[in-house]
């Protein structure tokens, strides 16, 4: 999944909901029709299929491979508290997701590319791992040679709202992580309890 290079709207069609809050996904009527020649036929999902669909929604939204996603689930189960909420927090804290939430990348795939190409500094150090887990107090900055691209992206996302757990200075393209993200701050609706249950089948 992390190396998926095919059409991204196809992923939205596969799970039946827009996995990115951009016009290409949200305004496309075909998103709610499964891909394939027989996609328009009604399909009744069993319990396994329902849980699989919720798991895939979350994987696609954060652009995480199955093997890595399974590790996130295991970590969420190991930590105290509600496993579903903990899983969301772990995924939100990924560096590529933080870049997306800042509004300087239009999609998670674009955010991943910005990080992987070494354009992001965390506390002054180049960090090119999209899966890097941010913590409160960390400062994220963008290398100056990427500022033009980021500002162009910001213009196309004029209505974007930065979540409260990130303090973002758009003039300097600098952000500080002020707190841990809360599950109710995630702008993507998914039933995490079904995701956790999927791995019990």
Closest listed residue to residue 158, CA positions, set 52, 56, 21: 21
Q: Which pLDDT score, from 0 to 100, does residue 174 have?
A: 96
CATH of domain 9-91+188-198: 1.10.1050.10
Tokens standing for 156? Answer: 């196309």
For residue 113, report the phi and psi dihedrals to the nearest 5 degrees: -65, -40
CA dihedral angle for residue 49, residue 28, residue 30, residue 55, rounded to 10 degrees = -10
Coil, strand or helix: which one is 14? helix
Using a 10 angstrom Cβ sphere, with 0-12 exposed, 13-18 middle and 19 or more buried, the burial of residue 19 is buried
Q: CA-to-CA distance for 142 and 151, rounded, in angstroms?
A: 11
Q: Which CATH number fits domain 95-180: 3.30.565.10, 3.10.290.10, 2.20.25.90, 3.60.60.10?
A: 3.10.290.10
Higher pLDDT, 146 or 26: 146
**CA angle at residue 44 from 41 to 47, to 5 degrees?**
150
CATH 1.10.1050.10 in the chain, residue ranges:
9-91+188-198
CATH 3.10.290.10 in the chain, residue ranges:
95-180
Quote helix, strand, coil % in the chain, to nearest 5. 45, 10, 45
Above 90 in pLDDT, residue 64? yes
Above 70 in pLDDT, residue 196? yes
The CA distances from residue 27 to 12, 81, 93, 186, 189, in Å, are 12, 37, 28, 21, 17
Higher pLDDT, 58 or 28: 58
Strand partners, 141: 121, 174
Q: Which pLDDT score, from 0 to 100, does residue 101 have?
A: 95
Is the pTM higher than 0.85?
A: yes
The band of 6, judged by pLDDT with boundaries at 50, 70 and 90, is: confident
């Amino acid at each position: 999944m992390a190396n998926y290079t095919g059409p991204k709207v196809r992923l939205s069609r596969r799970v039946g909901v827009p996995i990115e809050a951009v016009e290409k996904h949200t305004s496309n009527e075909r998103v709610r029709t499964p891909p394939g020649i027989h996609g328009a036929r009604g399909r009744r999902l069993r319990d396994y299929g329902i849980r699989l669909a919720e798991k895939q929604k979350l994987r696609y939204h954060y652009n995480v491979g199955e093997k890595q996603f399974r590790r996130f689930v295991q970590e969420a189960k190991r930590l105290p508290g509600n496993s579903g909420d903990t899983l969301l927090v772990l995924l939100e804290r990924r560096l590529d997701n933080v870049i997306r939430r800042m509004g300087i990348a239009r999609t998670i795939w674009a955010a991943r590319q910005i990080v992987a190409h070494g354009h992001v500094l965390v506390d002054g150090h180049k960090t090119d791992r999209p899966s890097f887990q941010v913590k409160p107090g960390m400062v994220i900055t963008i290398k100056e040679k990427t500022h033009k691209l980021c500002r162009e992206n910001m213009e196309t996302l004029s209505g974007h709202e930065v979540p409260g757990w990130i303090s973002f200075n758009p003039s300097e393209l600098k952000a500080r992580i002020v707190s841990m993200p809360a599950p109710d701050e995630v702008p993507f609706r998914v039933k995490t309890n079904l995701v956790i249950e999927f791995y019990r089948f």
